[in-house]
Chains A and B, each alone.
Chain A
Amino acid sequence: MNRTIILLLALTAGFGAMTLAATIRGGSSTEKVIRVTAKKFDFTPGEITVKKGEPLVLELTSEDRTHGFNLPDFHLRTEVKPSTVTTIRLTPEKAGRFGFACDVFCGSGHEDMAGTLVVTD
Chain B
Amino acid sequence: MSQQSSRRDFMKLAGLGGIVFASRLGGTALGANSVLEALGDKASRQEEFYFVQLSDTHWGFDGPKVNPDAQGTLKKAVAAVNSLEEQPDFVVFTGDLTQTTDDPKMRRERMAGFQEIVSKLRVKTVRLMAGEHDAALDRGEAYQEFFGNLHYTFDHKGVHFIVLDNVSDPAAIIGEAQRTWLQADLKQHKLNTPIVVLTHRPLFDLYPQWDWATSDAAAVIDTLMPYQNVTVFYGHIHQEHHHLTGHIAHHAARSLMFPLPPPGSVPKRVPVPWDPAAPYKGIGFREVEADVRKSRFGITELPVVKG
A100 B137 Cβ-Cβ under 8 A = no
| SS of B interface (majority) | loop
Asked, given contacts A111-B269, A112-B268, A114-B269, whether A105 binds B209 with beta carbons under 8 Å apart, the answer is no
Taken together as a complex, chains A and B put the C-alpha atoms of A73 and B210 apart, in Å, by 12
Within 8 A of A (CB), among B212-242: 213, 215
- B270 surroundings in chain A (CB, below 8 A): 111-112
B137 A70 Cβ-Cβ under 8 A = no
- B99, CB-defined interface residue at 8 Å: yes
**A: interface residue count bin:** 20 to 34
B208 A106 Cβ-Cβ under 8 A = no
- B94 surroundings in chain A (CB, below 8 A): none
Within 8 A of A (CB), among B265-291: 267-270
- B172, CB-defined interface residue at 8 Å: yes
Asked, given contacts A72-B208, A100-B209, whether A105 binds B136 with beta carbons under 8 Å apart, the answer is yes
Q: How many A-B residue pairs have CB under 8 A?
A: 58
How many residues from B make CB contacts under 8 Å with A? Answer: 23
User: How many whole Å from B273's CB to the nearest CB in chain A?
Assistant: 15
- A54, CB-defined interface residue at 8 Å: no
User: How many whole Å from A83's CB to the nearest CB in chain B?
Assistant: 19
- B18, CB-defined interface residue at 8 Å: no
Asked, given contacts A105-B136, A105-B170, A114-B269, whether A72 binds B209 with beta carbons under 8 Å apart, the answer is yes
Asked, given contacts A111-B211, A114-B268, whether A105 binds B205 with beta carbons under 8 Å apart, the answer is no
Taken together as a complex, chains A and B put the C-alpha atoms of A86 and B170 apart, in Å, by 19
User: How many whole Å from B211's CB to the nearest CB in chain A?
Assistant: 5
- B101, CB-defined interface residue at 8 Å: yes
- A107, CB-defined interface residue at 8 Å: yes
Within 8 A of B (CB), among A73-121: 73, 79, 98-108, 110-112, 114, 116
Contact partner of B211 among A98, A103, A108, CB < 8 A? A103
Identify the 6 closest CB pairs spanning chains A and B, nearest first. A105-B136, A99-B209, A72-B208, A105-B170, A105-B132, A104-B170
Interface residues of B (CB under 8 A from A): 99-102, 132-133, 136-137, 167, 170-172, 205, 208-211, 213, 215, 267-270
Write 28 A-B pairs (CB below 8 A) sorted by A numbering: A68-B171, A70-B208, A70-B209, A72-B205, A72-B209, A73-B209, A79-B171, A99-B209, A99-B210, A100-B209, A101-B210, A101-B211, A102-B211, A103-B172, A103-B211, A104-B170, A105-B136, A105-B171, A107-B100, A107-B102, A108-B101, A108-B102, A108-B133, A111-B210, A114-B210, A114-B268, A114-B269, A116-B267
